[in-house]
Amino acid sequence: MILYWLVRCLSFLLQRIPLAISYTAASLAADLTFLLWRRGRANMTDNMARVLEAGASHLQARTLARRALRNYAKYLVDFLRISNLTPNEITERVTFNQWAPFDEALAGGKGAIFVGLHMGNWDLGSGLLCLKGYALNVVVDTFSNQRLNDFVQGQRSRLGMKIVPREIAARRVLQALRRNEALGILMDRPSPAEVGVPVWFFGHQTFVPGGAATLALRTGARIVPTAMVRLANDRFLGLVDRCIALQPTGNDAEDIRALTQQIMESLEQWVRQYPDQWFMFRRMWPERVAAPVPAGV
């Protein structure tokens, strides 16, 4: 309950403070959190060490991780200010590099699955899609605190999204795809090996959910990988890759693995280009990166 009222108070304040000041305060809070949050700092630094080119130092990975946390704090500012946003403000701050893959995916008549990562500001990107007339269903995690959950999902509903709680998603996402609507799924949820799909991501094996690939293969829905990144002027650019469809071979496990690998390869390009926009606070890969050997040893 304390967390709920803290979030509501922050939302009230941030809607009345100039955005530039809010961003500055958020960056300072992120630096303090990075200093005190030992486990999160270690996980983020390890993830960034995988993303960086071979030979990058621990300091470079740590610096990139801190920048990512600052950008995440700015994302939270934007999220808590959603109630103040007008449609015009969204269209002024957010754009996409192309729209054709979205329309191509839906032209098949079997729905579309827009897949992405926790990058930039996925909520504002989804909001623009809704403003452009796309019926977008998003699968979300449910918070244990009901009042906090209602507030968080209410913010997304204000942007036009149809909220699908993960625990009841199976039936509702199938219904949405049958209506030729779009489904939004974030892929970067590291999974245990026994339930996840094995993929290569930045040259190392990890395990991610196979839900998007399974749905696409079962329903015929096409997949469009996307990412939303913050630009230097605090506007946002949506990056859209090609429309992906895989012809089933009859080997379900291999088809799911192959399609999931295609998705992750597409998403990898944007993490490589904008690593400080990727917000991953859990360890993405099963094993830690070996600690660098100090100079002179």
Q: What's the rounded Cα separation, in Å, for the pair 278 and 244?
A: 22
Decide if 112 is inside a domain.
Answer: yes
Q: Give the per-residue pLDDT at 290.
A: 53
Decide if 296 is inside a domain.
Answer: no
Can you give the pTM of this predicted structure? Answer: 0.92
Give the range of the structural domain holding residue 136, as residue numbers without chain letter: 2-277
Q: Which of 288, 204, 211 is nearest to 256 (CA)?
A: 211
- Paired residues of 139 in beta bridges: 164
Decide if 282 is inside a domain.
Answer: no
Decide if 286 is inside a domain.
Answer: no
Q: Give the per-residue pLDDT at 296.
A: 39
Q: What's the rounded Cα separation, in Å, for the pair 225 and 122?
A: 12
Q: Give the per-residue pLDDT at 295.
A: 40
Q: Which segments of the chain have a pLDDT < 50?
A: 291-297
Decide if 285 is inside a domain.
Answer: no
Q: Give the per-residue pLDDT at 292.
A: 46
Decide if 114 is inside a domain.
Answer: yes
| DSSP notation for 233-285 | TS-EEEEE---B-----S-HHHHHHHHHHHHHHHHHHHHHH-GGGB---S-SS
Q: Judge contact between 26 and 70, C-beta under 8 A.
A: yes
Domain count within the chain: 1
Q: Give the per-residue pLDDT at 293.
A: 40
Q: Judge contact between 62 and 45, C-beta under 8 A.
A: yes
Q: What's the rounded Cα separation, in Å, for the pair 36 and 123?
A: 28
Q: Give the per-residue pLDDT at 2.
A: 86
Q: In the structure encoding, which two tokens stand for residue 152, read together?
A: 């968080």
For 30, phi then psi, to 5°, come to: -65, -40
Q: Judge contact between 182 and 134, C-beta under 8 A.
A: yes
CATH of the domain at 150: 3.40.1130
Pairing of strands 197-201, 182-186: unpaired
* Alpha carbon separation from 201 to 50, 188, 197, 262, 264 (Å, rounded): 9, 11, 12, 10, 7
Q: In the structure encoding, which two tokens stand for residue 49, read together?
A: 């060490």
- Paired residues of 257 in beta bridges: none
Decide if 167 is inside a domain.
Answer: yes
- What would the pLDDT profile of 62-102 be if each residue is shown by its tens digit? 999 999 999 999 999 999 999 989 999 999 999 999 999 99
